[in-house]
Structures are given as structure tokens and as C-alpha cells.
Amino acid sequence: MYCANIKVKDAQQGKQPSYLSYFSPHPSSYGTVVVPTGPIPTHPMAVKNEIFIVICVIVGTIVIIGGNAELQRFDHPAKADGSLSILVVGDWGRKGKYNQSQVASQMGITGEKMDLDFIISTGDNFYPSGLTGEHDTAFEESFTKIYTAPSLQRLWYSVLGNHDYRGDALAQLSPILKQRDGKWFCLKSYILSTDIAEFFFIDTTPFQDKYFTDPGDKVYDWRGVLPREKYLTTILRDLESALGESHAKWKIVVGHHTIRSGGIHGDTQELVKRLLPILKASNVDMYINGHDHCLEHISSGDSPLQFFTSGGGSKAWRGNYSWSSNEKDQMKFYYDGQGFMTMRITQNEVGIDFYDIVGNILHKWSASKSLFSII
């Protein structure tokens, strides 16, 4: 089943295949392998068959290893002074409309002052239905031509949202997009290690039951996700073990969907049930999401966990808000309009600011940990 996603480069008749590039929807198998190939058989069909067998062996091995493998890990070192500056935006790709361009230009100004290391996108990258394929020009119209400020030409570590799954979900993960705009980085679930913090990016869309049980007229691209339960348990198991092994001072989990929220979508019950207990047991510091088109901060009442929503990248002002004062978790801040969130992280401190589209800081939060604490 994974063989369907393989692209063979330079394998035309009569030309020595210099390398085989594979691309699989499985979260643990992504990259480029260099495969030394033998003498070219004379019959073109034989070339094809041989390549196909080699690929299947390689991919088969990867899939088998992938069965027990950890989430794929990437490194992004902190600045020389040991700090990190990050901007977080979500729910944005609307070809500049609904204030997307205004948010982008304020991101550029704030990003310049902060000397950003990278940007996090919490998903729903392209509206209304993701990308149609690797060559969809919405990629330029909603991304490259919108986030033009020099300060934003950093890597954008992204996850997929539910709207992205309504298009060609694999297109956003394709290396071809990276060729079209080098700052783009998107996978389903992965770990980003910096020296001081570890970010665990989680593919949350497949957790929500209603996309499967009651999709209405929406069609979701579940390639690489089915069988669903195996996919979900693998993510949770890999996340739990990666969190357990992490020595990072700050542990931050990023997903598209809310866990707790006072916005129109409210809590995502499936994540409250299955993801939240892992985050609490593993001393995760923050869960960052989009999905509700607002800016929001909720403090857990029975753990150090903080919930941050940064989903104000374009269309907002939904007008629906509900949160009971009897909740054990505390609503610290809710803004129904557009904007974004910034983070500054050092060994001992993390500082969060929420910005609106004209650069006002609407809410601030910070926390510190002593130099020697291990959690």
C-alpha cells in the first residue's frame, strides 16, 4: 500500500538511476535514501521491475521498522546565547483575505524586532480544502506571496488541520513544496529538538470521530491514516515514549485541534480523553493549537499545563464564546479577532505574548524554572 506513493527519479530507459527517492505517508518513514544500483539490465521492463522490487524491499523494511519506530526527529539549534524566538500562527491560508495580509504584515514587524528563529503553523494552512496537489498555485497565493517580510523567511514548522485533510493531504508533505518555497516544512507528526525545548507536533485531525462518522458532503484524504485505530495508538504510544525520554527543559506539544477551548469548537473530547492524560503525566508545559479562530490562554487547574490557542491567522470574529466560571481550568485570556502569538524561550524562562493585527500586546504570560530543576 505504501508503494503507491513512491516516486522514482532518473529512472528513464537507458539512464542509470542515480538515486531513488521515497515518500510515504507513514509518519516514521520520510526522507531520501541513496541506493547504489547495479548494472543496467537491457530490457526496459526488467529495469522497471527491478526498480519496483528494490523500492518495495526498501519501503517494506521502513514500514516494518516504522511499526516500532519513534516519531521522526529534527534539530533546530537555539541562538548562540541559548535563547529561542518563535512566532505561532494558525488557520490562515485565504489568499490574503479576511485580514490575512494585515496579520502577515504585523507578523513581519514583530518578527523583525524579535529576531525569529522559526515559525510554527498550527494548521488549516489552506482554505477551504487544503491544496489540490503539489502544484496548486494556492500555495503561492496564500503563503509565499503573503508572508513576504524578511523576518518571516525562516522555517515554518507546520501541522495539518481538518481543512487541509479535505484536499490532497499528502501534497502539503511533499518535498516539491519545499522546492517551491524553502521555508515550508510540514509533516503529520514529528519532533523538533532545540537545545532548550522540545516540540512534539501531533496530527490531531484523525482523532476527531465526527470526520469519520458524520462527514456530510466533505471528503477527507485518509491516505496513510487507515486503519484509523492503529494510526492513533501509534501516535499516542510514540508520543508518550518520546516525552518520557525527553531531557528538554521545556516540553511543548503542538496540534491543530483544541483540547480545551471557550471558542465555537469548544473542547475536543477525543483529545481530552486520550491525549490530555499523557500530557499531564509527562509534565508537558504547554499545548499549542489552532482550530478556533481566536487567541486564547487557559491554565490547567490540576497541573502546570497551559493551553494556548493561536488560530487568528485570517477569518475570525465568530462571536461564540462560552466558558463557565465553575471550570477547574481557568480562562486567562480570550480574543475573538485576528492576531498571533510569540514565544521567547531560555533555559530558565518562557514568555508568551499575544498580538492583534496592529501590534498591540493583548495578553502576556511567563513562567520560570530554576536552573537545576529536571521537570
Ligand X SMILES: *[C@@H]1O[C@H](CO)[C@@H](O)[C@H](O)[C@H]1NC(C)=O
Enzyme catalytic residues: 265
With CB under 6 A as the contact rule, which of the stretches 73-81, 104-112, 212-220, 311-319 interacts with ligand X? Answer: 311-319
**CA–CA dist 112, 271 (Å, integer):** 35
Q: Is 285 annotated as a binding residue?
A: no
**CA–CA dist 102, 97 (Å, integer):** 9
| Among positions 78, 264, 278, 367, the unique one binding ligand X when judged by CB under 6 A | 264
Q: Is 324 in the site for ligand X (CB under 6 A)?
A: no
In the complex, minimum distance from the CB of residue 95 to ligand X, in angstroms, rounded to a whole number: 13
**CA–CA dist 318, 296 (Å, integer):** 14
**Region 47-66 residues binding ligand X, contact defined as CB under 6 A:** none
**Other CB atoms within 10 A of residue 180 CB:** 16
In the complex, minimum distance from the CB of residue 63 to ligand X, in angstroms, rounded to a whole number: 41
Which residues have CB under 8 Å from 355's CB, separation 6+?
Answer: 106, 110, 339, 340, 341, 342, 361, 362
Q: Is 26 annotated as a binding residue?
A: no
Q: From residue 92 to residue 121, what is the string marking binding to ligand X with x (rule CB under 6 A)?
A: ------xx----------------------
**What residues are paired with 200 via a beta bridge?**
191, 253
Select 252 or 294, whichever has its Cβ closest to ligand X: 294
**CA–CA dist 337, 82 (Å, integer):** 33
| Among positions 214, 247, 319, 324, the unique one binding ligand X when judged by CB under 6 A | 319
# binding residues, ligand X (CB under 6 A): 10
| Among positions 96, 304, 337, 351, the unique one binding ligand X when judged by CB under 6 A | 337
Q: Is 220 annotated as a binding residue?
A: no
Cα torsion 9, 72, 257, 303 to 10°: value is -170
Q: Is 124 annotated as a binding residue?
A: yes
Q: State the cell numbers at 278.
A: 499523557
In the complex, minimum distance from the CB of residue 359 to ligand X, in angstroms, rounded to a whole number: 11
In the complex, minimum distance from the CB of residue 15 to ligand X, in angstroms, rounded to a whole number: 53
**CA–CA dist 356, 339 (Å, integer):** 4
Residue 204 backbone dihedrals phi, psi, to 5 degrees: -90, -20
Select 47 or 295, whichever has its Cβ closest to ligand X: 295
Select 216 or 319, whichever has its Cβ closest to ligand X: 319
**CA–CA dist 192, 305 (Å, integer):** 19
CA proximity to 269, closest of 320, 328, 209, 222: 209
Judged by the rule CB under 6 A, the positions of this chain that interact with ligand X are 98-99, 264, 316-317, 319-320, 337-338, 357
Task: Write out the binding residues for Fe cation.
Answer: 91, 124, 127, 162, 256, 291, 293
